[in-house]
Structure 1
Amino acid sequence: MTASGQPQPLPAELRPYLGELVRRTRAVCGPAVAGVYAVGSVALGDYRPGRSDVDVTVLVDPALPGDALRELAEVLAHPGLPCPAAGLELVVYGSDFARRPSGRAGYLLDLNTGPLLPGRASLDSAGTPAFWYAIDRAVAHQSGIALLGRAAQEAIAAPQRAELLTALVASVREHTEGTGHLADNRVLNGCRAAAFCRTGRWLPKRSAARLIAAEEEAFRPLIAAALDSFARPRAEARPLPQADVRAFLARVRDRVEEAAAADGPARPAH
């Protein structure tokens, strides 16, 4: 949402692509489609050509057969549908699941495709780390842009705050210990996690970075370096001192755990 509460405008270079994505989704799924939403950096107004993925959430009748979901993955896959961004991260949920607060992964299809994104098409969420999806649905609830269907705030529920803080602890752990993450993204996702604890809202990465830099003087040079790197295409991202990145993420984890302790224990995921 913009400062006035209106949805962010879609980047011009993505409009034809997202229009065709909606058309193909409707062609495959027919009346089973309940909604299609631009989420992630597009919804937060922080999309960067050459750097950002396009994140899309699709809601369908949960009775939609698996064959239709497989066909959908095929017709949306790059380069059959050329993705103009670094990649497409598309998640399909049953509409009944999406409208209930939950910390579970819960997807029917998780599709990753695009010129800079390793391909993935999963139809089984069992055993999948749930934090990615819980956080994405929270962002969708707050700021998702409806490409088809009713408003995202009505169709997609955010997990409860306690479940989100649990998800953020897992996210910070992944960005500390996991592989394949750009250093600048580790830092900026840490800033966004800390900013959520501070404000209760999901901020664009650059806005979150400015907020946390003002509060964490010791890490200002690292955050500034992460912002400088984030302004570049993925292939030109700059390395950051790994010891500093880990120290910053340890500080973020402390902040998240402090917020979780203040709120009390998380309720079981639905």
Structure 2
Amino acid sequence: MSRTPAPPREVRTYLDELVHRTRAVCGPRLVSVLAVGSLALGDYRHGRSDVDVTVVVDRSLPRRALPELAGALAHPALTCPAAGLELVVYPADFAGRPSGGAGYLMDLNTGPSLPERVSLDPEEAPAFWYVLDRSLAHQAGLPLFGRPVRDVIAAPGRPDVLTALRASVREHAEGEGHVADNRVLNGCRSVVYCRTGRWSAKRGAAEIVAASETDFRPLVTDALRSFERPRESALTLPGAAVREFLTWVAGRVDEAVEAEGGDGAPSREAPLDRP
């Protein structure tokens, strides 16, 4: 039987306290706390990576508990040792079924390198971020408290994941505020997912793309070098080369969508009634 990997030592005390405070606020309505993102994929880079956490609660959790939880976990009330904390709270009845929607109860961004953000309305944010996070969580989520990952997080369908990837690539090509190396490495991970149907760590995905795509090898290699540096001292990558690469990535995602026989439109579902 394989052992569940432990979080990196740099963030273990922090995650223990995060779970303690989340249990104190949510009480018996807390279902699970999961580490996702780079922590789950074994690619956490201290000083560069965010801590990504998914919290699953019973929908009966009082609405007033959500701002209380945000206050308890916000930096510096709880000092974040990483670049930032990205924490999403889902109701269990939503997280436990496949969906192409955002569906969260709360989305919290906080930390020394992240703009502070608390959202209690899933209509405020593009759904693709959350679809991709739940897909990764279902595959590799690291349990910190509560029920096992596969019991609480359903995998979104591949068409919904590909739709989300298409939007993600567009965001990284056109959106502001993304570090150039992260734009490239996320593109590599998108390509590998399209080829394999599984999520890979950014650095592993980049090595796969660099080995198979010689035209992009210098750019990907520079992105890997930059990713070893703190976020504030990332290398400057040539903008035209990054855009050309992301255009190529978008083409690979489009090919995957066509292979599925879809048009890349997200699935529509009737919303669950709120209490």
Give the TM-score category using the shorter length.
over 0.9
Determine helix, strand or coil for the equivalent of 2:163: helix
2:150 aligns with 153
1:58 to 55, 63, 72: 55
Instruction: Name stretches of at least 5 consecutive residues in structure 2 with no aligned partner.
Output: 270-275
Distance in 2 of aligned mates of 1:185 and 1:234: 10
Distance in 1 of aligned mates of 2:169 and 2:81: 29
> 1:6 deviation in Å?
4.1
2:223 to 223, 226, 248: 226
Q: Does 1:177 pair with 2:138?
A: no
1:136 aligns with 133
1:27-53 deviations in Å (ceiling 9; x for gaps): 111001000000000000000000000
2:198 aligns with 201
1:116-171 deviations in Å (ceiling 9; x for gaps): 11000000011420110000001100000111112112210111001100000000
Kept in 2, the 8 Å contact 1:7–1:43? The answer is no
1:103 to 92, 100, 105: 100
Distance in 2 of aligned mates of 1:195 and 1:6: 25
Question: Which amino acid is the alignment partner of residue 58 of structure 2?
Answer: D
Distance in 2 of aligned mates of 1:256 and 1:264: 13
| TM-score, normalisation: structure 2 | 0.95
Distance in 1 of aligned mates of 2:199 and 2:72: 32
1:45-92 deviations in Å (ceiling 9; x for gaps): 000000000000000011212210010000000001000100000000
Determine helix, strand or coil for the equivalent of 2:118: strand
Determine helix, strand or coil for the equivalent of 1:66: coil
> 1:9 deviation in Å?
2.1
In the TM superposition, 1:1-270 aligns within 5 A as: 6-265=3-262, 268-270=267-269
Distance in 1 of aligned mates of 2:144 and 2:205: 26
Distance in 1 of aligned mates of 2:70 and 2:124: 20
Distance in 2 of aligned mates of 1:256 and 1:97: 27
Kept in 2, the 8 Å contact 1:41–1:204? The answer is yes
Instruction: Name stretches of at least 5 consecutive residues in structure 1 with no aligned partner.
Output: none
Distance in 1 of aligned mates of 2:92 and 2:268: 17
1:211-261 deviations in Å (ceiling 9; x for gaps): 111221100000000000000000110010000000000000000000110
Kept in 2, the 8 Å contact 1:36–1:59? The answer is yes
| TM-score, normalisation: structure 1 | 0.97
Kept in 2, the 8 Å contact 1:73–1:111? The answer is yes
Distance in 2 of aligned mates of 1:194 and 1:269: 25
Kept in 2, the 8 Å contact 1:187–1:223? The answer is yes
Kept in 2, the 8 Å contact 1:131–1:170? The answer is yes
Distance in 2 of aligned mates of 1:193 and 1:157: 20
